[in-house]
Amino acid sequence: MSSPDEEEGVDDWVPPSRRPELADVAPLPQADGPCPVVAIAYRDDFREVMDYFRALYAAGERSPRALRITADAIDFNPGNYTVWHFRRVILEALDADLIQEMNFVDQIAECNAKNYQVWHHKRWLAEKLGPDVANSEHEFTRKILYDDAKNYHAWSHRQWVLQALGGWESELQYCNQLLEEDVFNNSAWNQRYLVVTRSPILGGLVAMRDSEVDYTVEAIIANPQNESPWRYLRGLYKGDNTLLVADDRISDACLKVLNNDWRCVFALGLLLELLRMGLQPSDELRGTIEAINNPDPETEHTDLATAVCSILQKCDPLRINYWSWYRTTLSS
């Protein structure tokens, strides 16, 4: 892949040894020592490019030809962080067109969407170019996430751009879109929490909590076995357990889910937290839990939190020892 400021296309690629502008450069071979134990069988064209790269790098040359060699080296190995670093040094020295450079790296990123060095280079460019590229960066990550909705690098870059360069205006709607397409997309739930808590135009968590609880409860009722909204719901009350316990919508959601599926670990786990924090259960909730737990004669007359622990021991056998231990802590 050639850089956009070069006239030659991929099909016209010329080996460095045949380029007139490199005639005065003495290639610097890789120093493997006199008797390498397991010599790597590099392709000839790869070895030639890297020999010329090492020569220019060792000389500290900041020139258009050195920039072109870095493009060749990146084409062979987009993960070579030394090449990317040297390219940044050259770009700064030449005061190069960074918009063209962004186009260059975007082409590489589309084919190497999980390459740390590529995303680091994009962030460096975005920092240099500033808020003017915020929208284009969001569009690029949107394109990557369309192919891989959980690409960590794309999400990390998108979150950095939001916080450093802006572009919050439509981000909540974007989260809505992703969750409409796949409500199990935990990355979209994570992004939604970032937007609700960090966006400078939404007013913060306190201002958004009420509407977000309604949104999340609706998602829970529709798919009770989806862990993401349960965790998101808990996060909406981060640092304020009193409000969490006082909000009837939370315990009502647990009750509604358990009436349909008494084995829902997420509903039982949250209900146990609420009880531990002082929830005064309604008669309907108490009746539901006692009805679920009643078949066990040993726990028929226990308090409600202990009863929930007993139910969890039955329906969550993978963590039966944990729930058994948790049950012993209730008395203290």
pLDDT category of residue 296 using cuts at 50, 70 and 90: low
d(CA 228, CA 231): 5
Q: Within 10 A of 71 (CB to CB), how many other CB atoms are there? A: 19
Q: Which residues are catalytic?
A: 114
d(CA 215, CA 33): 64
Please write the tens of the pLDDT for every residue from 98-121: 999 999 999 999 999 999 999 999
Please write the tens of the pLDDT for every residue from 33-76: 787 788 778 899 999 999 999 999 999 999 999 999 999 999 99
Evaluate if residue 8 carries a pLDDT over 50. no
CB 289 within 8 A of CB 311: yes
Please write the tens of the pLDDT for every residue from 181-225: 999 999 999 999 999 999 999 999 999 999 999 999 999 999 999
Whole-model pTM: value is 0.89
The token pair at 258 is 């358990």
Residue 309 pLDDT: 94
Please write the tens of the pLDDT for every residue from 313-326: 999 999 999 999 99
| 40, 87, 270, 279, 287 from 70: Cα distances, Å | 21, 6, 54, 63, 71
Evaluate if residue 122 carries a pLDDT over 80. yes
Residue tagged 């049950």 (tokens): 327
CB 51 within 8 A of CB 30: yes
Residue 331 pLDDT: 75
3-state secondary structure of 223: coil
